[in-house]
Structure 1
Amino acid sequence: MMKRVIIVGGGYAGANLARLLDKLAEVCVVEARDHFVHNVAAIRSVVDPSLLARIVIPYDRLLRRGRVRQGIVSSAFDGGVTLADGATIEGDIVIVATGSHYARPFKPTLHGTRAFEDSVKAAHASLLAADRVAIVGGGAVGVELAGEIASAHPRKRVTLVSGAPALMPGYSAKLAGSLEAQLRAKGVDIHLGTRVESLDATDSPYLGTLSSTPDAAEDQLIFPALGARPITAVFRRMPTASFDAQGRVAVDAWLRPAGARRLFALGDAAATGDPMTIVAITRQVPWLAKIIAATLAGESPQSLPAYVPWSSRGILVPLGPRDGASVLPVTRHGLLVGKWPTALIKGRELFIPRYRKEFGYSGQFA
């Protein structure tokens, strides 16, 4: 009898792993949402909502043999998962890849994609009506959003505010310097080391005033971009689970939390040593696929090489379709590349054709 693998979460990590395991096991993906949302392109969809027709993709063609079941997992354990409705799904291996939250409209909410589409359209309409835009947060989302708005609407006044002394905290000074120079060249007003004491909302854009900036008294469209928050409710129901400072669940050398034997954590919710990026997934997913394949064949994970994160923190940061800078994790300290490679790898198409193909919708709309 073919063994069953249960994957909790159908985001980037869960969906990519499911595809790799589809030929090896009976794969069941349990996902709360009705469609996959390619949120890598969500930032640009704020300036170009026509992208929504291509980045919200059904799950019905993801797997050839396995299935995607819509539902919410309330708990996971060695041997299966329990759903919010009380149903239990048994499996030989369980992977929890629940991902992370972000402020609207950059990631969908838990249940449906209609709310995500509505939030993008609402943000776009607000953007068109606004003369001034303020973005609070100098990480990847805030920087990329500033670049997209400044590229698509060069006459709007865009302000980027960060409490950190440089853009892109946690990444190299060279990357931060390149992105800052390009944003300033696009007319973005950047305030570093500037704390915003209070925001009227932290989970969605709103029209208001912003303290600590020269034009504080003027109404502007404010986008909170304060970082991702891991989704760890399933892990917090495990009595012996522990969490790092970011709220990610601690795992052993084979990505197993809370002393589990055949339950693994993957992606943003797991404290793997990688940042919460798509680049990290490209290392974690193929590694875990090999571990699971060997485990299904009767080997112990402990007999296999432990997971080792990227030696450098790779990231791709386009500033519109033609500009940006990136760090590729191909050397010990990473390789900094500029506009042209960033545009070629990510900026021009934002991986949209790739993910539509992987979900079985290449060249057509869902």
Structure 2
Amino acid sequence: MFSGRSSPAVLGSRQISRHRLLAYTVQNRTETKKDSTAYLRMGSGSSSSLAAESHVVIIGGGFGGTHVAKKLKGKNKFTLIDGKECLQHNISALRGAVQPGFASASFIPYSDLVGDNFKRGTVTAIDQSAKTVTLEDSSTINYTTLVIATGTRAPFPGQVPANSDKSDAVSMYDKIIEEIKSSKKIVIIGGGAVGVELAGEIATDYKDKEVTLIHPRDVLVDADIIQKAQKLMKDQLTKLGVNLVLGERVSNLSELPREHTAEMFKVLTDKGTEIEADLVLFCTGAKVNSSAYENSLADKMNERGQLKVTEFLQVEGCEDIYAIGDCNDVKETKMAYRAEQQADLLVSNLVNEANGKAKKPYKPKGVMMVVSLGRNGGIFQFGTSVFGPFMTKKIKSGDLFVKKFYKDWGLKMQKT
């Protein structure tokens, strides 16, 4: 179904075409393609390069940072810095926690993406006057333009630790698969996107597991998800067999084991609810990753650790320093798609500025959110329009954008 009550059969053919076109637009990012192509034309239209002496340094190799690199690849000098050796395609991370072999495909080496333009390391300081960044080994890298795209840090299984090697990361997912298989009663703490999608993945693949999701609020995932979508999401989770404990907070968090146990234990809430479990999965505590700039740009941060930026995504008061994605304070739902849109505009503006053309402001977009619940379920909210499993599967739930990522980068995806 497209929504909670309407099926394709009751929609006119023109409406069906519109909705299918919308899904295609979301999946293929065509919304930004036309604009970025136009922005990147300069002079006679034969070049899209910055000045020869330019060097764009990108801190953070998530979706936003790698998208900047993709736009510059083969045209301009750039360096992408990240503490991991691979990009983690974390949109698909939670399927890697239930499907054997899937996690390996969701870790793509930066060397495959950007070759010698990758520098593995952790940035500890930014010197605006010298235009350098300092790494933990005290080495420095000069920049003409700095792009900060450090994203958000979240606990496993949503993300792996900041300095992980691929082999260690994949082993972590192999281990959690075995723990889930061995468990009978699983409690997931946290009803944000990670907790909800993890519950959907487990309940879809393991019908014999008793899955309970505990969340301190009645609203799941994000406050921007409207009531109609909330109901549709909760109904699907309940149909999958997930027990929802909402409006309650876990009170014995520090006492709970961090891995599967042979003996059952109790998870307690502040409302007196007791839930028996042999595995608890922690899906709380996501924070803006500000470690690269929290000392150097402390006065440019808001209370959440995000960098304050202008309409052109430039860090306020900082020449040639920009921030995109989760680590900036643009008021819109934070998601990979939006980070890539910001990356498109940023690179286009850099080219325009280098060629004496006017920059264009970034205009925050309305709500567009796709929450997958296993391979066949989920909700898709576009503004105030809500669609159900049929549309969600076409857009995201089927393969969680992994195949598209490999295709967009011209890489061959390994079999899972």
Contact in 2 for aligned 1:62/1:358 (Cα 8 Å): no
1:112 and 2:164 equivalent?
Answer: yes
Contact in 2 for aligned 1:103/1:202 (Cα 8 Å): no
Which residue in 2 is equivalent to 1:307? 362
User: Whose radius of gyration is greater, 1 or 2?
Assistant: 2
1:125 and 2:175 equivalent?
Answer: no
**Cα offset, 1:29, TM superposition:** 0.7
Alpha-carbon separation, structure 1, partners of 2:389 and 2:182: 30
CA displacement, residues 221-262 of structure 1 (integer Å, 9 cap, x when unaligned): 111112521110122122553433433222222222251110
Which secondary structure state, in structure 1, belongs to the residue aligned with residue 58 of structure 2?
A: strand
CA displacement, residues 26-51 of structure 1 (integer Å, 9 cap, x when unaligned): 11111111112111111011111310
Alpha-carbon separation, structure 2, partners of 1:320 and 1:193: 24
Alpha-carbon separation, structure 2, partners of 1:257 and 1:137: 32
2:266 to 206, 209, 221: 209
Alpha-carbon separation, structure 1, partners of 2:330 and 2:258: 29
CA displacement, residues 144-182 of structure 1 (integer Å, 9 cap, x when unaligned): 111111110112111111110222231211221110000
State the AA in 1 paired with 2:136. Answer: A
Alpha-carbon separation, structure 1, partners of 2:142 and 2:335: 30
Alpha-carbon separation, structure 2, partners of 1:117 and 1:101: 18
Q: How does 1:144-159 map to 2 (within 5 A)?
A: 144-159=197-212
**Cα offset, 1:2, TM superposition:** 4.2
TM-score normalised by structure 1 residue count:
0.90
Query: Residues 62 and 176 of structure 1: is their aligned pair in 2 closer, same or farther, counting only changes over 3 Å?
Result: same
Contact in 2 for aligned 1:203/1:224 (Cα 8 Å): no
Query: Residues 365 and 158 of structure 1: is their aligned pair in 2 closer, same or farther, counting only changes over 3 Å?
Result: closer
State the AA in 1 paired with 2:229. Answer: L
Alpha-carbon separation, structure 1, partners of 2:344 and 2:258: 34
Contact in 2 for aligned 1:279/1:314 (Cα 8 Å): no
CA displacement, residues 104-154 of structure 1 (integer Å, 9 cap, x when unaligned): 122121112333222212211111111011111111111111111111011
Which residue in 2 is equivalent to 1:285? 343
Q: How does 1:240-279 map to 2 (within 5 A)?
A: 241-279=299-337
CA displacement, residues 70-116 of structure 1 (integer Å, 9 cap, x when unaligned): 11111224423121212221121110111111111221211123332
1:317 and 2:371 equivalent?
Answer: yes
Which secondary structure state, in structure 2, belongs to the residue aligned with residue 284 of structure 1?
A: helix
Contact in 2 for aligned 1:30/1:70 (Cα 8 Å): yes
Q: How does 1:2-41 map to 2 (within 5 A)?
A: 2-41=53-92
**Cα offset, 1:334, TM superposition:** 4.3
Which secondary structure state, in structure 2, belongs to the residue aligned with residue 187 of structure 1?
A: coil
Query: Residues 314 and 192 of structure 1: is their aligned pair in 2 closer, same or farther, counting only changes over 3 Å?
Result: same
**Cα offset, 1:205, TM superposition:** 5.4
Which secondary structure state, in structure 2, belongs to the residue aligned with residue 62 of structure 1?
A: helix
Query: Residues 296 and 24 of structure 1: is their aligned pair in 2 closer, same or farther, counting only changes over 3 Å?
Result: farther
**Cα offset, 1:23, TM superposition:** 3.9
Which residue in 1 is equivalent to 2:240? 186
**Cα offset, 1:53, TM superposition:** 2.4
**Cα offset, 1:279, TM superposition:** 2.9
Alpha-carbon separation, structure 1, partners of 2:290 and 2:319: 19
Alpha-carbon separation, structure 1, partners of 2:375 and 2:415: 22
**Cα offset, 1:360, TM superposition:** 4.1
Which residue in 1 is equivalent to 2:33? none
State the AA in 1 paired with 2:243. Answer: D
Contact in 1 for aligned 2:105/2:413 (Cα 8 Å): no
Q: How many residues align?
A: 357
Which residue in 2 is equivalent to 1:74? 124
Higher mean C-alpha deviation, range 193-202 or range 343-352 = 193-202
**Cα offset, 1:340, TM superposition:** 1.2
Gaps of 5+ in 1: none
1:172 to 226, 232, 239: 226
**Cα offset, 1:313, TM superposition:** 2.3
Which residue in 1 is equivalent to 2:194? 141
State the AA in 2 paired with 1:52. Answer: A
1:55 to 93, 102, 106: 106
Higher mean C-alpha deviation, range 250-259 or range 202-211 = 202-211
Alpha-carbon separation, structure 2, partners of 1:86 and 1:274: 36
State the AA in 2 paired with 1:111. Answer: N
| Structure holding more helix per residue | 2
**Cα offset, 1:281, TM superposition:** 1.8
Contact in 2 for aligned 1:102/1:228 (Cα 8 Å): yes
**Cα offset, 1:215, TM superposition:** 7.1
Contact in 1 for aligned 2:54/2:76 (Cα 8 Å): yes
1:343 and 2:393 equivalent?
Answer: yes
TM-score normalised by structure 2 residue count:
0.80
CA displacement, residues 175-228 of structure 1 (integer Å, 9 cap, x when unaligned): 211100001111111111111123138996565531038872623311111252
Alpha-carbon separation, structure 2, partners of 1:203 and 1:101: 22
Ranked by relative contact order (alpha carbons within 8 Å, sequence separation 6 or more), the top structure is 2
Query: Residues 247 and 35 of structure 1: is their aligned pair in 2 closer, same or farther, counting only changes over 3 Å?
Result: same
Contact in 1 for aligned 2:214/2:248 (Cα 8 Å): yes
Which residue in 1 is equivalent to 2:32? none
Contact in 1 for aligned 2:158/2:283 (Cα 8 Å): no
Alpha-carbon separation, structure 2, partners of 1:290 and 1:205: 47
